[in-house]
Amino acid sequence: MDQQLTQVTSVDDSREMNHMEYTTNTTNNLESAMRKAVEKGQGEFDRRGKSDNQIKKRNDSSRDQHEKINRKIKHKFTLMFMLITIIFLICYIPKVIIMLFEAMNKTFWESFSDRERAGVLFIYRMFIINNVSNPFVYAFLDLKFKNELKQLCCRN
């Protein structure tokens, strides 16, 4: 029994020694490769043995991806705000024009028949359409707003 225990211990010891030798050799090889690369002028290395050039390439590609995503987000926001502005102008300019005519002509409202007055009042109150349309513009163009709206509506 003691002999078997001694054999097992010696096998474990030899495995551990082999692992230590492998680790030491790997570390020495990595250090010598780093030293040679630095001597050749290939730049600094990080702990994983990656050169500056490899790290820069990886950082550049991730930076390019982030810039691409940022451009898409900026484009969506620009489109969204342009659309909101256009809807605002379409809805409010007629009201301003009617208010100008109303200020210039004291009998502005009396000069219309009932049907005409109803049409002019619709145009006069068109600004409400702006307030109604804004949530739809946000819903179609803003992903965060869309997700929040889904959470609000689908709450159990």
Sequence spans of domains, the chain: 1-50, 71-156
Look up residue 119 and give its amino acid.
G
Tell me what the pLDDT averaged over the chain comes to.
75
DSSP category for residue 30: H
* Range of 11-15, 44-48, 54-58, 115-119 with top mean pLDDT: 115-119
For the chain, percent of residues with pLDDT exceeding 70: 61
Which pLDDT belongs to residue 27? 53
Which pLDDT belongs to residue 145? 79
**Chain segment 101-115, per-residue pLDDT in tens:** 999 998 988 989 999
Separation between Cα atoms, residue 11 and residue 33, nearest integer Å: 33
Structure confidence at residue 76 as a pLDDT band (50, 70, 90): confident
Residue bearing the bigger pLDDT, 58 or 3: 58
Residue bearing the bigger pLDDT, 134 or 20: 134
Which residue is associated with the tokens 């009396």?
110
User: Per-residue pLDDT for 4 more than 60?
Assistant: no
Structure confidence at residue 122 as a pLDDT band (50, 70, 90): very high
Q: Could you count the other beta carbons within 10 Å of the beta carbon of residue 95?
A: 15
Separation between Cα atoms, residue 40 and residue 36, nearest integer Å: 6
74 in Cβ contact with 136 (< 8 Å): no
Separation between Cα atoms, residue 3 and residue 156, nearest integer Å: 69
DSSP category for residue 6: H
User: Per-residue pLDDT for 60 more than 60?
Assistant: yes
Which pLDDT belongs to residue 8? 43
Which residue is associated with the tokens 């030798």?
21
Average the pLDDT over 64-81 and give the result: 87
End-to-end CA separation in angstroms for the chain: 67
94 in Cβ contact with 126 (< 8 Å): yes
Average the pLDDT over 30-45 and give the result: 54
For the chain, percent of residues with pLDDT exceeding 90: 29
Spell out a b/e string for 5-43, using b for 16 or more CB atoms within 10 Å of the CB, else e. Answer: eeeeeeeeeeeeeeeeeeeeeeeeeeeeebeebeeeeee
